[in-house]
Amino acid sequence: MTVTTLARPRVLADLVPGGIVRDVVLVASAAALTGLAAQVAVPLWFTPVPLSLQTLTVLLAGAALGPVRAVAAMGLYLAVGAVGVPWFAQGNSGLGFVTLGYVIGFIAAAGVVGLLARRGADRSVIGAAVVMAIGNLVIYAFGVPYLAVAAGIDLPTAVNLGAVPFLVGDALKVVIAAGLLPAAWWLARRD
């Protein structure tokens, strides 16, 4: 007698049937959604960093896709923008703009968030909030130092221009994600 057990889904994307085709579609879709979210950008007169929805998309993609697919999605997002598609915030493309460090940070944040989600950290409101906060910190860890170098400013000034003005908005995005992720898992368990 053999016992067959179904593998427990480790991230939300694992609930979608399919194999490599599913993964390619999910990766391309997450990259495109991030590019679309980047178009919802509000320039702020006192900083070169715009307010955008990219970080919410990146962090949700990390949790939903898991580390490998999420890193691939954000890598694709960076690669397509680097070759000239103007889908970074404020219509930027290429590699010559001062906020590129944030885009590079998206790759690392998606991987970190994906790893934490794969371990089940996104299935409760508090866990999802912690995961999203960590993901935001990873993005800042890349974006702020890059901003300092690219803009020729010191690190404290870069923090004041590239992190402090966004803390309230990022906290709101954490709250949104902390509600969406556990709700998605709850809905998935109802099937």
Residues 33-76: tens digit of each pLDDT: 999 999 999 999 999 999 999 999 999 999 999 999 999 999 99
pTM of full prediction above 0.85: yes
Mean pLDDT value of segment 134-153: 97
CA–CA distance from 69 to each of 14, 53, 64, 139, 157 (Å)?
11, 20, 9, 18, 35
Q: What angle do CA 132, 150, 69 make, to 5 degrees?
A: 35
The correct CATH number of 14-189 out of 3.20.20.10, 3.10.20.30, 2.30.30.60, 1.10.1760.20 is 1.10.1760.20
> Does pLDDT of 156 surpass 80?
yes
SS3 76: helix
What does the domain layout of the chain look like in residue ranges? 14-189
> Does pLDDT of 189 surpass 90?
no
